[in-house]
């Protein structure tokens, strides 16, 4: 057997399907920090069987790939879903027909039974996301969650053949490297249940907060706040930023190696969290009670926040205060000796 055949035999077969969503996670994936996505997957030991947007197979060829997975002729190691599951109308799944004479809902249920690993790519596939917003006319849900409630399409107790629940690579869209690194961990057999957080998101990014590494942290420390999107100040107090509460490493692992939402002047809207699509207030506004933001930083008691905020504001340097409400640095840091003598 040739080296290439040997490599293919040992690789994990990945089938990627798309349902109720915008396809944005695939667009994001194409910006992964690698020279060529397909070569990278190959090196990681992953064989992409089919992707509805990236593969060249005809419709008939795609149907055969899916059928071969269902009947066991082709081993299905990783089933990836992008987009929410559409269960309507009335639980039939009829809003999303596959062209095979069945619905995507039914097809996913059948494929999930034979998959070694099942992965939800994006917050729609994980929790329902934007697709489930409003009155949810399509009865959209995630593979194993409906918002923050366990269940979804497959049920709370679902486990794939490899023993893991659905792996939720949440985000709207997902950071491309979250996807690649999760697939790499699956390919290496190193992703275990303890590698997932409480919402079964990979801890490789979910053990961080968006706040970590934020370039506005000095303004946050002094509670020197922005009043409009172009201001340099902290976006938490007035502009709706939830970066101190949201699990993601967006300001450590920069998007396209360049930036993040808050670095671009827009508040973190918590897109990796279940229910982010309906926060109960405009995304760019911070709801308050008696002048205190409702959404306080993770792990911080309200009384502590009030006391620290009051102290910080009273100690805010003029430089920080004036720069916070400008669209560029108005006053640079003072140069001073750092030696003891």
Where residue 222 sits, what CATH number does that domain have?
4.10.480.10
Place of tokens 């699990």: 247
- Are 47 and 165 in the same domain? yes
Per-residue pLDDT in tens (0 to 9) along the chain, 341 residues: 334 444 444 789 999 999 999 999 999 999 998 889 999 999 999 999 999 999 999 999 999 999 999 999 999 999 999 999 999 999 999 999 998 889 999 999 999 999 999 999 999 999 999 999 999 999 999 999 999 999 999 999 999 999 999 999 999 999 999 999 999 999 999 999 999 999 999 999 999 999 999 999 999 999 999 999 999 999 999 999 999 999 999 999 999 889 999 999 999 999 999 999 999 999 999 999 888 888 888 888 888 888 888 888 889 999 999 999 999 999 999 988 888 76
Start-to-end CA span in the chain (Å): 72
Residue 334 within any structural domain of the chain:
no
| Length of the chain counted residue by residue | 341
Instruction: Indicate if 71 and 212 belong to the same structural domain.
Output: no
Question: CA torsion 16→17→23→26, rounded to 10°?
Answer: 0
Q: Do residue 64 and residue 188 come from a single domain?
A: yes
Do 212 and 200 reside in the same domain of the chain?
A: no
Whether 341 maps to a domain, the answer reads: no
| Cβ contact 223:237 at 8 Å | yes
For 281, the domain range is 208-329
- Give me the sign of the Cα torsion angle 220, 225, 229, 235: positive
| 94 located within any domain | yes
Residue 228 placed within a domain:
yes
pLDDT at 1: 34
Q: Say if 92 falls within a structural domain.
A: yes
Q: What is the pLDDT of residue 9?
A: 47
The CATH number covering residue 100 comes to: 3.40.50.700
DSSP helix/strand/coil, 200: coil
Residues 223 and 187 in one domain: no
The answer as to whether 340 is a domain residue is no
Strand (E) or helix (H) holding 324? helix 318-324
For residue 249, give Cα distances in angstroms to 210, 214, 265: 5, 10, 17
């Amino acid at each position: 057997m040739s080296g290439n055949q040997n490599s293919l035999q040992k690789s994990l077969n990945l089938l990627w399907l798309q349902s109720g969503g915008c396809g944005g996670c695939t667009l994001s994936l194409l910006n992964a920090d690698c020279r060529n996505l397909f070569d990278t997957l190959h090196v990681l030991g992953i064989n992409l069987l089919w992707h509805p947007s990236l593969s060249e197979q005809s419709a008939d060829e795609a149907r055969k790939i899916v059928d071969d997975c269902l009947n066991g002729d082709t081993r299905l190691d990783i089933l990836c879903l992008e987009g929410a599951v559409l269960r309507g109308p009335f639980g039939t799944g009829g809003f999303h027909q596959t062209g095979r004479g069945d619905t995507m809902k039914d097809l996913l249920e059948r494929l999930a039974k034979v998959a070694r690993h099942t992965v939800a790519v994006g917050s729609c596939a994980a929790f329902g996301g934007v697709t489930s917003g409003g009155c949810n006319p399509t009865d959209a849900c995630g593979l194993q969650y409906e918002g923050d409630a366990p269940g979804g399409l497959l049920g709370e107790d679902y486990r794939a053949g490899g023993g893991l629940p659905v792996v939720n690579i949440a985000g709207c869209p997902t950071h491309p490297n979250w996807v690649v690194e999760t697939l790499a961990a699956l390919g290496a057999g190193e992703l275990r249940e303890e590698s997932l957080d409480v919402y079964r998101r990979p801890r490789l990014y979910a053990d961080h907060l968006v706040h970590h590494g934020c370039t506005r942290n000095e303004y946050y420390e002094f509670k020197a706040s922005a009043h409009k999107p172009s201001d340099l100040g902290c976006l938490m107090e007035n502009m709706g930023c939830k970066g101190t509460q949201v699990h993601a490493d967006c300001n450590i692992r920069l998007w396209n190696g360049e930036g993040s939402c808050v670095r671009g002047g827009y508040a973190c809207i918590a897109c990796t969290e279940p229910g982010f699509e309906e926060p109960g207030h405009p995304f760019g506004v911070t709801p308050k009670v008696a002048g205190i933001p409702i959404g306080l930083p993770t792990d911080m008691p309200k009384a502590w926040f009030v006391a620290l905020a009051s102290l910080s504001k009273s100690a805010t340097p003029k430089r920080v205060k004036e720069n916070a409400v400008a669209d560029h640095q108005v006053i640079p840091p003072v140069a001073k000796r750092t030696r003891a003598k």
